[in-house]
Structure formats: C-alpha cells, structure tokens
Structure 1
C-alpha cells in the first residue's frame, strides 16, 4: 500500500520558489530545500522527481501567482500611463527586496536556459503573456487617445517587456528603489 503524501505540495512549491528566488538554482541544494520545506529527500523526489522538477514547479507557481497578479493590476488600471507606471514600479519594489532578488523568471533565464530548455519555454510563455497583455492595453489606449500611435502597440509592448527585464537585472545589481524608479519615467516617455 502506497503512503499518502504528508505535506502540502502547493505550500512546499511556494516556499521552494522563495528559496530559489533569493539564492538561485545552483546555490540551492537539495538539503537546503528539504530543510526549508520540512520534508525528507525521499518525499521531495516522490513529489517532484528531482530538484529540477521542483524548480520548474516553482517557476510555474511564480507564473500563475506573482506574474499573473502584475498583469491583472495592469488590466485593472484606471488610465494606461498610470497602470503601466504602477506595474513597472511594483516590479521594481519586488525585485529590490531581500537585497536585490530580481525576478525569478529573469533569474531563471540568466542562470538556467543553457542547462534546461524547459525553462526557456516557461520564461518565454511569461514574457509572451506580458507582451500580449501590454499590447492589448496599449491598443485600447491608442483608440481612446490616451497615448499617441507613434509605435505599433505590439512593438511598444515588446520594448516595455525588454526594458522591464533589464530593470529587473539592474535590481539585482543596484537594489535601490530610488535609483531605479526615475528610469520608469524615461520608459513611459515612449508612450507619447
């Protein structure tokens, strides 16, 4: 008779996500994970296969929670410029926490893409979702006359996602909100 799992896998994935986010994949050992999650190594392997499986689960959790929340806040914003500003500033604040943890997705792209092609797919899906949501918000803003149509909304959204990725890398190097916030205004100038 198989033993039932004696821990909450969703809570475990959330805790693992935070550990990977602060330390990175390579610097997080299986021992670190089992201690943080309060489970045995056998339970970790039974639930997730291996460390990479848990990492992929953590990335998925990040995508469906924090990344999804950022997109929802963008879509619920009153005016486009304020919504984009709020989304970018929110990501800066998140990225500068804990001495500059950045963004789990951007960190994964920098650290894991060569070793794990499945990470590329997860990160690309997140970036595509961000770009598509931004493009739709920008398209509607052009129709309303809130922003000028100097650039195609899809291209402008691609620029903002690329800017945000660079900003999140910078948040690891310079984890200072006051230094990074003024850069948002420069990016917002692209909205016209």
Structure 2
C-alpha cells in the first residue's frame, strides 16, 4: 500500500519555480530541490516523475500567470496605449529591481531551446499572449483607438517580440532611460 503524500505539490511547484527562475534548470540539481522542498528524492520522483517533470510544471505555472497578468492588466487600462505603456514600463521596473532573475520564460527558452517540452510551452505561451493582445487591439480598433489599417494580429506579434527583447535587454542591465525610450518607440507602431 502506497503511503499518502505528505507535502503540498502546489507549494512545491511554487518553491521550485522560484529556484529554477533564480538559477536555471541545469544549475539546480535534484539534491538542492529536495532540500528546498523538504522531501526525499523518492517523493520528488513519485510526485513529478523527474526533475524535468517538476520543471515543466513550474514553467507552466509561470507562463499561465504571465498570460493571466497580461490579460488582467490590458483590461484595466482606460485605452490600449495607456494599458500597453503601463504593462511595458512595469516590466522595465521589475527587471531593474531584480536583474539576476529576469523573465523565466526568456530564461527557459534560451537555456533549453532544444528541449521539446520547453519549446512547446514557449510556443503555447506566445500563442496565448497573441490571443490576448490581438483581441485587445481588435477592440481598440473598433473603439477608434487604432487605425483600421492596422492588423491586430500583426501588432500583437510585434508586441510579443518586443516584450521578449525588452526582457532580454533588462537582464543585460541596459539603462532604464534607454528601455523607456524603446517603449515609447514601440508604442508608435500603434499610430
């Protein structure tokens, strides 16, 4: 008879996400994970299948949160430009506060680009972000905030690409003034 699990897997995924985010997949060995989580390696493997399984759940949690926050923040803005500027400047601010951590999605994509599961999670997240942004841009166009010449899908894809570049530049410790100027320039695509 199997023993009941004695730890909260949701808490474990959250804690592991923080560790992977700070150190990356390869620099986070199983003994470090089990020590942080307060469990044995057998419990880790029983709950998640492997270190990779735990990483996949942690990355999915981060990505789901990223998309939910984008959706929430874009809906909170009074107009599309204000909402997008707020979102982008918040990213600049967050990256300036903790340059070592950066964006887990960017970190995962660069560290594990050849890993099918990581690449698929990145694609799924970008698709979800595109959906949120293109819907918001479509509504903005209907409200007269964007020219009818603009393609919401093309603008969404541009913004997703810009966001990922912005996150990389933040980790590269680029000056905040530079990044804020880049945000201003990117938003001109909406003119």
TM range (shorter): over 0.9
Instruction: Please state whether the residue corresponding to 2:180 is helix, strand or coil.
Output: helix
TM-score normalized by the length of structure 1? 0.92
Alignment RMSD (CA, Å): 1.6
TM-score normalized by the length of structure 2? 0.92
Instruction: Please state whether the residue corresponding to 1:99 is helix, strand or coil.
Output: coil
Aligned residue number for residue 124 of structure 2: 125
Aligned residue number for residue 159 of structure 2: 160
Query: Following superposition of structure 1 onto structure 2, how do residues 71-110 of structure 1 map, counting pairs within 5 Å?
Result: 71-110=71-110
List per-residue Cα deviations over 1:132-180 (Å, max 9, x = no partner).
1111111111111112244311001100000001111111111654442
Give the unaligned 5+ runs of structure 1.
none
Assess, with a 3 A threshold, how the Cα gap between structure 1 residues 130 and 6 changes in structure 2: closer, same or farther.
Answer: same
Shift of 1:18: 1.0
Alignment length (residue pairs): 191
Assess, with a 3 A threshold, how the Cα gap between structure 1 residues 175 and 102 changes in structure 2: closer, same or farther.
Answer: farther
Q: Is 1:184 matched with 2:176?
A: no
Q: Distance in 2 between matches of 1:130 and 1:110?
A: 19
Give the unaligned 5+ runs of structure 2.
none
Q: Is 1:144 matched with 2:143?
A: yes
Q: Distance in 2 between matches of 1:96 and 1:18?
A: 18
Assess, with a 3 A threshold, how the Cα gap between structure 1 residues 175 and 62 changes in structure 2: closer, same or farther.
Answer: farther
Q: Is 1:8 matched with 2:2?
A: no
CA contact (8 A) 1:130 1:161 kept: yes
Structure 1 segments (4+ residues) deviating >6 Å: none
CA contact (8 A) 2:64 2:125 kept: no
Assess, with a 3 A threshold, how the Cα gap between structure 1 residues 37 and 181 changes in structure 2: closer, same or farther.
Answer: farther
